[in-house]
């Protein structure tokens, strides 16, 4: 099936008991058994739930994977991945990544003896130089949050395979519509399902997709044992959101291209970070591993004044000032004080995350209205 057909049909089927075309919300905590251990595949909803099963099958299909595993948040999914490892193990991570991931790595797991190396990944040889006998995994975001850096997944997978490492890719910014890391050699794909997959800013969830049966078994064990599982109502909402993922992503990409071009030509804008520009670092890689360039854009202001950035964001009307991304509505955020505040200032600025940097999640509204909203806000500085 092509992607749009998979988004609507893969992993789901009409309910056998009623013929309902939409997957029911199985709002139950437990299931009746005929005899101890003799049940219909479901015994307790932390372990399994039919609504969650349908969603996990759908997500696996969208990522061309075999196993989908859902969690109560994206960080819950990342937490499970890191729990695959032991004290003394080391993980190489990109140096530009979501602040919550950085916080989880450094403030939680480093306390338990897992060491993290945060390195630029624009060149695979940089990664290889940090590999040692204790290295167990490479953690990649591409495009990165919020600097929109592009990492060559296929090239990194070759490094991982050469050294016997797991390669995990946070695919949240791209969504399965734009990029499928498993096809490029990744072992684990992670999504903050909250974002594009849900698409309507009404659910918080995370997911992992893998092909390897043994790896899936370990992650499913952690999903059940640690208990960070989503409820059936949330799973239902994401199943509904997925059915329009391809339609929404097409519009996100169209609007993203329009807004990026507008910002690049604006006299009050210093830099625009969007992988669709030909002069964007690793644009050729983005063009080869992504189907389009998405609706996530970051930009800085001339003069790099925090006061100017605040004034712009306070005067936007259609771009709501809020954390998160990937919903149908446009959002703006200030990474330095919001999503990435947990990263020390000196570390943020090493990758270009300065105080005037504004991140946009371009929604599916009319592009002209979005341009006009940005123009009037920028006119205030």
Q: Which of 240, 263, 294 lies at the terminal end of a domain, its last residue?
A: 240
Whether residue 137 sits in one domain with residue 77: yes
- Of 60, 8, 16, nearest to 41 (Cα)? 16
d(CA 257, CA 213): 39
Tokens found for residue 371: 């341009």
Which domain CATH number covers 117?
A: 3.40.640.10
Collapsing DSSP to helix, strand or coil, 14 comes out as coil
**Of 52, 98, 355, 359, which one is the catalytic site residue?**
98
Whether residue 30 sits in one domain with residue 61: yes
Whether residue 364 sits in one domain with residue 231: no
Whether residue 228 sits in one domain with residue 205: yes
Give how many domains the chain has, as a whole number.
2
170 tagged catalytic: yes
pLDDT per residue rounded down to tens, the chain (381 residues): 999 999 999 989 999 889 999 999 999 999 999 999 899 999 999 999 999 999 999 999 999 999 999 999 999 999 999 999 999 999 999 999 999 999 999 999 999 999 999 999 988 889 999 999 999 999 999 999 999 999 999 999 999 999 999 999 999 999 999 999 999 999 999 999 999 999 999 999 999 999 999 999 999 999 999 999 999 999 999 999 999 999 999 999 999 999 999 999 999 999 999 999 999 999 999 999 999 999 999 999 999 999 999 999 999 999 999 999 999 999 999 999 998 988 888 889 889 999 999 999 999 999 999 999 999 999 999
Whether residue 233 sits in one domain with residue 335: no
112 tagged catalytic: no
**Of 52, 136, 195, 348, which one is the catalytic site residue?**
195
- Residue 159, CB half-sphere, CA atoms under 13 Å: how many? 26
Whether residue 37 sits in one domain with residue 21: yes
Which domain CATH number covers 293?
A: 3.90.1150.10
Q: Which of 240, 275, 291 lies at the terminal end of a domain, its last residue?
A: 240
**Model pTM greater than 0.85?**
yes
d(CA 339, CA 141): 15
102 tagged catalytic: no
Whether residue 274 sits in one domain with residue 225: no
Containing domain of residue 13, as a range? Answer: 3-240
Collapsing DSSP to helix, strand or coil, 300 comes out as strand
Q: Which of 240, 270, 293 lies at the terminal end of a domain, its last residue?
A: 240
**Of 170, 187, 292, 373, which one is the catalytic site residue?**
170
**Of 42, 46, 271, 311, which one is the catalytic site residue?**
46
79 tagged catalytic: no
Whether residue 286 sits in one domain with residue 199: no
pLDDT of res. 78: 98
Whether residue 181 sits in one domain with residue 285: no
Whether residue 188 sits in one domain with residue 143: yes
- Of 340, 342, 356, nearest to 98 (Cα)? 340
d(CA 161, CA 209): 18
Beta strands 166-170 and 135-141: pairing type? parallel
d(CA 331, CA 348): 21
Whether residue 264 sits in one domain with residue 172: no
Whether residue 217 sits in one domain with residue 130: yes
* CB distance 147 to 96 below 8 Å: yes
Cis peptide before 93 (omega within 30 of 0): no
d(CA 136, CA 84): 10
């Amino acid at each position: 099936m092509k992607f749009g057909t998979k988004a609507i049909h893969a992993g789901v089927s009409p309910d056998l008991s009623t013929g309902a075309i939409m997957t029911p919300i199985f709002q139950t905590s437990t299931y009746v058994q005929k005899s101890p251990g003799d049940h219909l595949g479901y015994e307790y909803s932390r372990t399994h739930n039919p609504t969650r099963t349908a969603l996990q099958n759908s997500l696996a299909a969208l990522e061309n994977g075999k196993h989908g595993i859902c969690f109560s948040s994206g960080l819950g999914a990342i937490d499970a991945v890191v729990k695959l490892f032991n004290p003394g193990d080391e993980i190489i991570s990109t140096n530009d990544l979501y602040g919550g991931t950085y916080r989880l790595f450094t403030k939680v797991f480093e306390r338990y003896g897992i060491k993290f190396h945060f390195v630029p990944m624009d060149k695979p040889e940089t990664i290889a130089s940090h590999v040692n006998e204790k290295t167990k995994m490479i953690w990649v975001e591409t495009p990165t949050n919020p600097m929109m850096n592009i990492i060559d997944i296929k090239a990194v997978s070759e490094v991982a395979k050469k050294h016997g490492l797991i390669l995990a890719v946070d695919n949240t910014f791209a969504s399965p519509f734009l990029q499928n890391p498993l096809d490029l050699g990744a072992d684990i794909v992670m999504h903050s399902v909250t974002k594009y997959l849900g698409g309507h800013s009404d659910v918080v969830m995370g997911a992992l997709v893998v092909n390897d049966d043994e790896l899936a078994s370990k992650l499913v064990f952690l999903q059940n044992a640690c208990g960070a599982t989503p409820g059936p109502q949330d799973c239902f909402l994401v199943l509904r959101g997925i059915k329009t993922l391809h339609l929404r992503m097409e519009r996100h990409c169209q609007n993203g291209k329009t807004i990026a071009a507008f910002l690049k030509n604006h006299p009050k804008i210093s830099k625009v970070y969007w992988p669709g520009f030909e002069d964007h670092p690793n644009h050729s890689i983005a063009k080869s591993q992504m189907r389009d360039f998405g609706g996530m854009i970051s930009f800085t202001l001339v003069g790099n004044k925090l006061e100017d950035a605040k004034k712009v964001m306070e005067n936007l009307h259609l771009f709501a000032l809020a954390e998160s991304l990937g919903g149908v509505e446009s959002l703006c955020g200030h990474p330095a004080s919001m999503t990435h505040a947990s990263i020390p200032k000196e570390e943020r600025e090493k990758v270009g995350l300065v105080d005037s940097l504004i991140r946009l999640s371009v929604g599916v509204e009319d592009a002209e209205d979005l341009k006009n909203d940005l123009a009037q806000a920028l006119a205030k500085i």
